Every structure is written in C-alpha cells, then in structure tokens.
C-alpha cells in the first residue's frame, strides 16, 4: 500500500484545508495511508550560513523523501498561497531536496467561490522551481469552495459530486505515483542540479 504525506499548507489551527486532508485520509484509507504533516511550527526561514537545518525541517524532509507522494492542500490569501507555506517550501529546498521528482497532487479549500484556484496556480509555479523540481500531477485541480459549509459534523464532505470528483482524482494520483516513480534514470542528476543551482550564477 502506498504511503502519502498530506501537507497542511497553512499555520491556521481552524483551517478547512486540514479538514480536507483529514477527509482524504479517512475516506481513502483502503487505497493508501496518508500521514498529515503540519508546518505551523517551522521557524521563519533565515538561510543559515552553516546550512544546519532545524530538527523539525530535517524530520519533515526525511518523511517526504520516504513517501511515495505528497498531497498539498492550500488556502488562498490575497490571490496567493500563505506565507507559512512559502516559508516551509523555502526550508525544504535549502540543503535538502525531498521534492525533486516527487509526485505531488495539489488540492485547496477556501471560504469563497473560487476554491483557491489562484493559489494553486502559484503553487504549481513554485514547485517547478530549480530547487524543488517536483512532479506535479497535471490537469488535476480540486477546488473546494465555500469550505466552511462543505463538511458535516463527522468531517465528511457533504456534496456527493465533490466526493466523486475527489475519488477520481485520488485514483488518478495513485496511477500517477506509479508512473513517476518509474522515471528514476535522471533522479540523481536532477538532485545534483537542484543542490548546485544558484541564482547568483545566472
């Protein structure tokens, strides 16, 4: 059975994106295990000169490295992903490169009508950066709008059409994970490129 990381893309304790990942974990437990990962305790990124990473970052990087894939659920603040998520990705691409060639599925929940669509587009761009080089599942947006009203008392999605769509995307992601994890020939070279990349040399 595949093991996935569900990355909660916010530091909010009341986030519906956490609820969405909790639903995914419970609803698809027969297909894969999903381990939720929090970023709320990551320190502010400061590019340490000694390249020594905080323990929480190192542990997160190791878990992502070992996982078969990652699901990131992001809210949208001012047409963008939260600063906390950017901060986490900054850490997870500094002297560690767990996202290189890692299969990633992006989801998102927001209080409004657009379901974090702009934030998801921005996140795709960030994950394609030379220091991250993630393998992002294409054409797979899951946009949960009006997320405050989307869950019942048992933390299940109310809308059967949303559940059907999410089920299809999750099944596709498991296939995508299998496909991506066969593309290993250039993995070590890709990791070296990420580690050696410097914007100062461009």
**DSSP for residue 156:** -
The structural domain count of the chain equals 1
Average pLDDT of the chain, as a whole number: 93
Give me the pLDDT at residue 98, please: 97
pTM above 0.75, yes or no: yes
Q: pLDDT tens-digit profile of 126-158?
A: 999 999 999 999 988 898 989 989 999 998 999
Contact present, 27 and 152 (Cβ < 8 Å)? no
Give me the pLDDT at residue 54, please: 95
Regarding predicted confidence, which is higher, 161 or 188?
161
Indicate if the pLDDT at residue 197 is higher than 90: no
Question: Containing domain of residue 164, as a range?
Answer: 2-201
Instruction: Return the minimum-mean-pLDDT range out of 1-10, 89-98, 137-146.
Output: 137-146
Rg (CA), the chain: 16
Q: What is the CATH number of the domain that holds 81?
A: 3.40.50.360
Instruction: Return the minimum-mean-pLDDT range out of 106-115, 153-162, 191-200.
Output: 191-200
Give me the pLDDT at residue 195, please: 82
% of the chain exceeding 90 in pLDDT: 76
3-class DSSP assignment, residue 47: coil
Max CA-CA distance within the chain?
A: 54
| Mean pLDDT, residues 184-202 taken together | 79
Give the start-end residues of each E strand in the chain: 2-8, 32-37, 69-73, 103-109, 135-136, 142-144
Nearest to 127 by CA among 162, 98, 160, 165: 98
% of the chain exceeding 70 in pLDDT: 98
Give me the pLDDT at residue 28, please: 98
Indicate if the pLDDT at residue 198 is higher than 90: no
Give me the pLDDT at residue 139, please: 85
| Mean pLDDT, residues 32-39 taken together | 98
Indicate if the pLDDT at residue 7 is higher than 90: yes
């Amino acid at each position: 059975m595949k093991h996935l990381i569900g990355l909660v893309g916010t530091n909010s304790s009341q986030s519906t994106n956490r609820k969405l990942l909790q639903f995914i974990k419970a609803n698809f437990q027969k297909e894969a295990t999903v381990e939720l990962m929090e970023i709320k305790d990551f320190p502010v990124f400061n590019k340490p000169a000694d390249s020594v990473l905080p323990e929480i970052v190192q542990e997160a990087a190791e878990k992502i490295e070992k996982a078969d894939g990652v699901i990131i659920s992001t809210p949208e603040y001012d047409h963008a992903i939260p600063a906390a998520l950017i901060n986490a990705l900054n850490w997870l691409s500094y002297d560690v490169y767990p996202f290189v060639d890692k299969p990633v599925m992006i989801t998102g929940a927001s209080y409004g009508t657009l379901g974090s669509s702009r934030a998801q587009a921005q996140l795709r761009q960030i994950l394609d950066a030379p220091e991250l080089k993630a393998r992002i599942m294409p054409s797979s947006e899951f946009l949960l709008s009006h997320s405050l009203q989307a869950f019942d008392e048992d933390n299940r999605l109310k809308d059967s059409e949303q559940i059907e769509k999410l089920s299809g995307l999750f099944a596709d992601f498991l296939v995508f994970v299998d496909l991506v994890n066969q593309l290993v020939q250039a993995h070590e070279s890709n990791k070296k490129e990420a580690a050696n990349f410097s914007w100062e040399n461009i």
